[in-house]
A and B are shown apart, each in its own frame.
Chain A
Amino acid sequence: MEGEAGDFKVVLKKRPRYIIEEKCTGCTTCVEYCPVQYPDPFNQEISDNKAVHVFFSQAIPLVAYIDDSCLYLKENKCDICRGVCQAGAIDFKQTTEKKDVSVGAVILSAGIKPFDPKVKDEYGYGRMQNVVTSMDYERLLSSTGPYEGKVLRASNKKHPKKIAWIQCVGSRRVAEGENSYCSGVCCTYTQKQVILTKDHDPEVTCKIFHNDIRSFGKDFERYFQRAEQLPGVEFIRSYASITREDPETGNVAVRYATTDEGVKEEEFDMVVLSVGLNPPADYKVLAEKFGIELNSHGYSRANHSNPIETNQSGIFVSGAFQGPTDIPESVFTASGAGAQCGEFLDYRRWKLAKERVYPPERDVSKEEPRIGVFVCHCGANIGSVVNVPSAVEYALTLPNVVYAKEQLFSCATNSAKEITDLAKEKGLNRVVIGACSPRTLEPLFRDTLREAGLNQYYCDMANIREHCSWVHSKQKDEATEKAKDIIRMSVARTRHLEPLQEYDLPVNKAALVVGGGIAGMTSALSMASQGHEVHLVEKEKDLGGMVRRIHTTIEGMDVQAYLDDLIQQVYQNPLIHVSHDATIKNVSGYVGNFITTVDTEGRTKTIKHGASVIAIGADVYKPGEYLYGEDDKVFTHIELGELIAGGDEKVVNAESLVMIQCVGCRNEDRNYCSRVCCSHAVKNALKLKEKNPGMEIYILFRDMRTYGFREDYYREASEKDVKFIRYEPEDKPRVEALEESGKSILRVTVPDPILGQRLELDADILSLAAAVIPSASTAEIAGHFKVTLSPDDFFKEAHVKLKPVEFAADGVYLCGTAHYPKHIQETINQAYGAAGRVMTLLSKDTVIASGSVCEVVENDCVSCGACITACTYDAIEFIETEKGKKAWVNPILCKGDGVCNAKCPTNAIVLKHFTDEELCSQIDAAITDEDILCRIDCAMGSE
């Protein structure tokens, strides 16, 4: 790479695939014929694959590649694949391609590499057949895995009945070759593997040897409980070591210790090493090429106030290159990196985009239906089971079918073109594609219709792959009959299809941000620097939110200086309009066009905006336990942090200080982990040790959840003689205020599991890890924006993993602790993420709403209101018409679920594209006259 930010020249080297991507349809016929077997890298080399194969079943692009093990490449010997490829996609002449690209910015998202336990002989990996890594096990569990979803032992290909997981392999260990940090994801992925294992085979005994259980993610605490409560599953808090392999049985012995039974050794059929995350394989090369700095662990050196940024302008990092991360964090840092590129390159937005032009749409609504049926072989996927020619022949006998044809791959570029051409040539006005699920390829086929000048809703897909050939591969005749049934039903429906128009809604370019904390301000600034007006609404008199009370982070960031700077930037930005002391009174409208009324400092503002970001933050639990509020020596961690920052003498000069973790959460009332408190405790402890090294500090915890690089600080605290004492929720610490030798102290007692009695700790100061709880205004704001809440009353995102900053309601976004408790860096990441998602909406002039929405036939409407109560989106309302009050559907708010249809007593409301007529004709076509005649014959025969 050369050049500078805004104008980089990057040379990409692309190794040959020996397959012409444009021609390959992913049919895998070549794979079937290839004679070379070699260990499959995607399946962890547990099973074999062919020299030519598709990397994995969901690969994008879904095309094959040829590996170095190919006989032709090695010895010029075999080219069977070239002979069998009907698409002519094999090209052995391909060489390494060099490609120059000009870019303005670069995002490094090189991912991670699972830790390789071979670096330590003691793990037995590679030495003992039935010791696998969690990555191996992940593949074993997968239906596309080495044994098609069967979990089998390498030694005898039998199902293991007793499996052990060993946690923290390669993580939280300071030994050479291992990582000192916590990988953060292994506890939960192990729980997932346990749940799946029990799903596969309820008889399996699972034992998980772990250190702390780190269920700090959203809904993870409940997930852990679900895994833990399964019968035959035991979580054992103990270091575990692999001692030997039984040469006869291949079983693996594990040595561990419990408080009740001491050290013991137990044999398992299989041992899974829960390996941690390593930095990307070539991180040093990457860092050198792009001139970015790495931290001591080999990840990008984070700028604490913007972890997406690197030391090189124009180069950003997302995902696990920031450090070990789970999926939602990866997703929102990716959106965030997008937002930051946007800030950087906004002046060039849309300069490379080209508008697609379609031929004008032909009005065929007055014509008789002329249906064309295209039946796809999908290579061998359909064709080897269903008799495709016979299905084509059959299609031609169906009413209104004027043309039918088989295709090798309907989705291949040339086949799609063929559909377009034939539709024009044969005067087709409706098309049925007998192929796969509409979920993947319907947009493509709709496009082919548009290219032919037909309305895209004149297309229907008869799913004869997922619904037929894939599930009936061993019953070819019956599968062919079923395929015919499916095609007949599709044709019946297609006869009634209507042309529908999609709506182009104008997008108001302004955004509303609710909440003026770090999350709200960061996302407002990012959007404003991409040229959008932002209305920032804060309920307090000042900006800043919760962070006003936090002085440093565990990494040492000066939070107040950062906050002051952020606030100044917000006030100085001419595109950001701040409303203080503000309450939202009403929100109306929909994606691209919201109208919000806000009461602010004695007046009412009406704000028009295209998108809304909810960043209302969270509150702190006010403890009712451990003498909080009764004794002036008891504080919360936040208060303690403030006192330390203020140099409070009573605190700094205390002889002894006790912290109690998990106060107000991880209990029946709040069944979640507040995520940040363990690090807060360690941060405060380290600060105090710095000021007063002699202070006795005790942290009473349940599980220390200092995930990621925070683990290093936990270790440092331990080394500095901060004492960590674990307690069980059933037997919590007790606190009493006492006077002893003229001094008032707090006596904290906590059970000592080893001595079997309560330890007594006398504290001058007690600090409580008070839970982070949902903001008091959560329910109200959720009501205004018509979004939903999770079981713990934080806002519920559209998808917990894949859409972590969006809501099910379009045009509304989420970031910060309103989503779930999180650290400042995580909040900043997510705020940029939300800005990035907002920009995908606001950067466009229009947003398209589906044509498949509900509509009311006014004449039939009896104004009963059944549809209005059925609609969750408030899309239906009464309007006054000449014939009186009638229901009316706002097509933009309607999401096309059609629940109202099934409620309407007069069938006056119609879900377009799924009308009663369309669906009933499909139901009627499900059974043929022949079926009925045959039935009557049978009945008569029996009489």
Chain B
Amino acid sequence: MCSGRVDLEFILRAFSNGQDGVFIGGCRLNECNYITHGNYDALSNTHLCRKIMEHIGLNPERLRLEFMSGADGNLLAEVTDDFIKQVKTLGPLGTSEGMDGKDVKFKLEAARKLVPYLKLVERERLRVPVKSEEAYTAFFESEPVNRLFSELFGDKLAVSQIMLLLKEKPLSTSDISEKLDLNPSDVSRHMNASSRQGFVRYDTASNCYMLA
């Protein structure tokens, strides 16, 4: 199994389970054990996941990817110690971010629902042309990619969260905007789109949306 096998779902699931940090170890770049260089996929997934974390208000430093060889025992010990120290400073998941546990879980849940979509986006629009660590960092930190990501992911995340809320009980537009701290006009936009797609319906009697 290659570090490229590490699915976005695995990482988000671990956080969702209440882990305060996730560490991924991969072979050194360009020293692939296969010929696949799947560690670049791990690198791209890590960048992606850190963006998701940022978006839902989690500190992306809670996720770390390090590359090392089988002979780098010392390095592993060193980076593990360092990472643990860092996670300890950040405290339990949500605390340094000012989010309560339920909120964290809810947001992660919403993000996890988007993993299949993100895989398609990554494939179609977030491919890095050059295989180098610097190129990956530059790409994922570039303004156009940030904008693209917000556009693609931001709206989807909002809808995903709304669906999760509606699963519990029907809610009005203002309820939703309050609970998710979203602009009411954005909520209306999402609700209109979602009713058109047949995911939700509007109950005129109660003035509430519910799952279709």
Contacts and interface: CB of A to CB of B under 8 A. Distances in A.
A902 B8 contact: yes
A505 interface: no
A905 B18 contact: no
Given A872-B36, A926-B17, A939-B92, A920 B10 contact: yes
Given A902-B5, A939-B101, A919 B10 contact: yes
Interface string A911-925: 100101001100110
Contact of B4 (A809, A898, A905, A924): A898
Nearest to A466: B73
A918 to B, nearest CB: 10
By secondary structure, the B interface counts as: helix
Interface string B91-115: 0100000001100000000000000
Interface in B45-69: 45
Interface string A896-911: 1111011111110001
Contacts of B14: 923, 926
A923 B34 contact: no
Contacts of A919: 10
A140 to B, nearest CB: 16
A699 to B, nearest CB: 38
A866 B123 contact: yes
B84 interface: no
B33 to A, nearest CB: 8
Chain B interface size band reads: 20 to 34
Interface string A810-825: 0000000000000000
B77 interface: yes
Nearest to A897: B2
B205 interface: no
B4 A914 contact: no
A312 interface: no
Interface of B: 1-2, 4-10, 13-14, 17-19, 34-38, 41, 45, 73, 77, 92, 100-101, 116-117, 119-120, 122-123
Nearest to B121: A905
A923 B4 contact: no
Given A906-B116, A920-B9, A898 B2 contact: yes
Given A905-B116, A936-B101, A899 B35 contact: no
9 nearest A-B pairs in the assembled complex, by CB-CB distance: A898-B5, A897-B2, A899-B4, A905-B116, A899-B38, A872-B36, A905-B119, A902-B7, A808-B35
A931 interface: yes
6 contacts: A788-B35, A866-B120, A902-B8, A903-B119, A926-B14, A927-B17
B5 A901 contact: yes
Contacts of B119: 866, 902-905
Given A899-B41, A905-B116, A923 B5 contact: no
Contacts of B120: 864, 866, 905
> Which of the listed residues B4, B6, B19 has the most CB atoms from chain A within 10 Å of its own CB?
B4
Nearest to B45: A902
Contacts of A897: 1-2, 4-5, 34, 36, 38
B104 to A, nearest CB: 11
Nearest to A906: B116
Contacts of B9: 916, 920
A802 interface: no
Nearest to A920: B13
A871 B119 CA distance: 15
A471 B1 CA distance: 24
A866 B116 CA distance: 12
A935 interface: yes
Contacts of A788: 35
A870 interface: yes
Given A901-B7, A939-B101, A923 B17 contact: yes
B13 A924 contact: yes
Contacts of B45: 902
A352 interface: no
B116 A911 contact: no
Contacts of B116: 905-907
A903 B42 CA distance: 11
Contacts of B5: 897-899, 901-902, 911, 914
Given A808-B34, A919-B10, A926-B19, 20 more contacts: A143-B73, A788-B35, A809-B35, A864-B120, A869-B123, A896-B1, A897-B34, A897-B38, A902-B41, A902-B119, A903-B122, A911-B5, A914-B1, A916-B9, A924-B13, A926-B14, A927-B19, A935-B18, A935-B101, A939-B101
Interface of A: 143, 471, 788, 808-809, 864, 866, 869-873, 895-899, 901-907, 911, 914, 916, 919-920, 923-924, 926-927, 931-932, 935-936, 938-939
Contacts of B8: 902
A903 B117 CA distance: 11
Contacts of A906: 116
Contacts of A898: 1-2, 4-5
A664 B1 CA distance: 42
A788 B77 CA distance: 33
Contacts of B92: 935, 938-939
Nearest to A872: B36
A656 B169 CA distance: 99
A924 B123 contact: no
Contacts of B77: 471
Contacts of B36: 871-873, 895, 897, 899
Nearest to A470: B73
Contacts of A911: 1, 5
Nearest to B123: A866
Nearest to B127: A869
A903 B35 contact: no
Nearest to A866: B123
A895 B18 contact: no
B29 to A, nearest CB: 14
A590 B68 CA distance: 31
A932 B6 contact: no
A158 B119 CA distance: 55
A42 B154 CA distance: 62
B99 to A, nearest CB: 11
B5 to A, nearest CB: 3
A872 B7 CA distance: 18
A195 B207 CA distance: 72
A902 B1 contact: no
Contacts of B38: 897, 899
Contacts of A903: 41, 119, 122-123
A943 to B, nearest CB: 9
Contacts of B117: 905
Nearest to B20: A935
B73 to A, nearest CB: 8
B161 to A, nearest CB: 20
Nearest to A943: B100
Nearest to B80: A471
Contact of A902 (B4, B17, B19, B37): B4
B15 to A, nearest CB: 10
Contacts of A932: 18
A899 B100 CA distance: 35
Contacts of A873: 35-36
A928 to B, nearest CB: 10
Contacts of A872: 34-37
Contacts of A904: 119
B188 to A, nearest CB: 29
A485 to B, nearest CB: 12
B41 A870 contact: yes
Contacts of B37: 872
Contacts of A869: 123
Nearest to B35: A808
Contacts of A866: 119-120, 123
> Which of the listed residues A808, A870, A903, A924 has the most CB atoms from chain B within 10 Å of its own CB?
A903
Nearest to B118: A905
A916 B9 CA distance: 9
B123 A902 contact: no
A938 B101 CA distance: 12
